[in-house]
Amino acid sequence: MVETDWTTQAKNILRAELTRKGVSVRELARRLDQDERVLANKISRGKFTAAFMLECLNAIGVNEVRV
């Protein structure tokens, strides 16, 4: 049985949705009123809560995600 790297999967899902919606990290940072560099680092590391991911997805207008 292959173990899934959940951190990588979460990061990839968020990045894919940003790309799909045509929203840059800079724009996401503006929508969330967060520092762009801090936000980019958080996404790059993939170490974020489910609540943060939902906040990001909501900010870019994503209503459903296929896993």
> Could you report the per-residue pLDDT of 7-59, keeping only the tens digit for each?
999 999 999 999 999 999 999 999 999 999 999 999 999 889 999 999 999 99
Query: Taking 60 as the threshold, does the pLDDT of residue 3 lie above it?
Result: no
| Better-scored residue on pLDDT, 2 or 13 | 13
Distance separating alpha carbons of residues 14 and 33, to the nearest angstrom: 18
Structural domain range at position 56: 22-62
DSSP code for 37 = H
State yes or no: pLDDT of 2 exceeds 70. no
Alpha-carbon span 33 to 7, nearest angstrom: 24
| Domain assignment present for 5 | no
Spatial separation of the C-alpha atoms in residues 30 and 40, rounded to whole Å: 12
pLDDT value, residue 4 = 66
What pLDDT is recorded for position 1?
A: 44
Residue 12 in any domain: the answer is no
How many domains does the chain divide into? 1
65 or 19, which is more confident? 19
